[in-house]
Amino acid sequence: MKILLLDKNHPLITEQLLEKNYTLEEDFSSSYDEVCLKISNYDGIIIRSRIPLDKNFLEKGKNLKFIARVGAGMENIDVEVAEKLGIQLINSPEGNRDSVAEHVIGMLLFLMHRLFIASQEVKNGIWKREENRGDELLGKTVGLIGYGNMGKATAKRFSGFGCKVIFHDIISGLSDEYATQVSLEELKKTADILSLHIPITPETHYLIDENFISEMDKEFYFVNTARGKNVETKSLVKAIKSGKIKGACLDVLEYEKSSFENLETENEDLQYLLSSEKVIVTPHIAGWTHQSKEKLAQVIVDKILAS
């Protein structure tokens, strides 16, 4: 079986597949059009996010048996077309769920205990104690939207902080020892913290908008480690300014490039998020640890070998 690797990943992918007598070719620089010209020569592709696998691309891949995405989200692939063409889709959300869960907790602690602000003040000779009084996680009700690999790992961490964890998911019967499944209405009524763990689909695009925020009964903290376009930024900014959102932790932004490598747009709302003391922003790294890089790759190899 001949496999094309389109993005750099952990070397164990190459090492282990070569040991199993797969033929591998690495191409980390060719453009979309250049790859389209040769994709029919391969039985499989291993990707991250560099090149979109749209209808045109997939139809040219006449011999493709599988597409393996090192990561969780599949929005860079035309899933419907791939399934119609009989191409198996493989991803590895198991590989970075722990990294994402720790990142969620870390950002919230940073924000709620004013750690960045207080540290910067002390380094600049400013010693403020009362002004930097924090807010505890203990006793808070955490509402998760989405209860797949990321949601479950995050719930486990929150439960260790003495939080009540509830979640809403389109699949029923998912309650476990760490969290209780509730209706979206119940979540909006009781959550002190809202954290997203969902893919980007037509149904979840701008899920968090002005209407959704207004339906939250309490002032709340907001966390997004899912996808930037799950959130309408202008509504988020408006809610932070009004105090309805007490603070936001954002690892993803609406204005990211589809490859997640940088921002493609700058505007007034983005500048507010980047300058506000009520907002923690990181560059789409919630799932990026040294450990997750290896685990993501191992999951992909295991699934390819099992397919």
Spell out the domain ranges in the chain: 2-91, 96-281
Residue 15 has pLDDT above 90, yes or no: yes
- Do the domains at 2-91 and 96-281 have one common CATH topology? yes
> What is the predicted pLDDT for the residue at 63?
96
Q: Is 25 a residue whose pLDDT tops 90? A: yes
CATH architecture of 2-91: 3-Layer(aba) Sandwich (3.40)
What pLDDT sits at residue 258? 80
Confidence category of residue 278, pLDDT binned at 50, 70, 90: very high
Q: Residue 274's pLDDT band (boundaries 50, 70, 90)?
A: very high
State CA 83 to chain mean position distance.
Answer: 23
Task: Tell me: pLDDT of 266 over 90.
Answer: no
- Model confidence at 264, in pLDDT bands (50, 70, 90)? confident
Confidence of residue 260 (pLDDT cuts 50, 70, 90): confident
Enter the pTM of the model: 0.93
Instruction: Identify whether 284 is a catalytic site residue.
Output: yes
What does the pLDDT read at residue 262?
86
Is the pLDDT score of 108 beyond 90?
yes
**Is the pLDDT reported for residue 259 higher than 80?**
no
- What homologous superfamily is domain 96-281 in, according to CATH? NAD(P)-binding Rossmann-like Domain (3.40.50.720)
The closest of 250, 233, 230 to 241, measured between CA atoms, is: 233
63-67 — which CB contacts under 8 Å span 24+ positions?
A: 64/39, 65/1, 66/90, 66/304, 66/307
Annotated active-site residue in 50, 157, 197, 284:
284
Q: What is the pLDDT of residue 198?
A: 97
Tell me the CB-side half-sphere exposure of residue 126, using CA atoms within 13 A: 10
Of 97, 157, 227, 254, the catalytic one is 227
* DSSP calls for 278-307: TEEE-SS-TT--HHHHHHHHHHHHHHHHH-
Q: Which of 50, 103, 254, 256 is catalytic?
A: 256
Distances (CA, A) of 125 to 48, 120, 212, 247, 278: 44, 9, 42, 26, 22
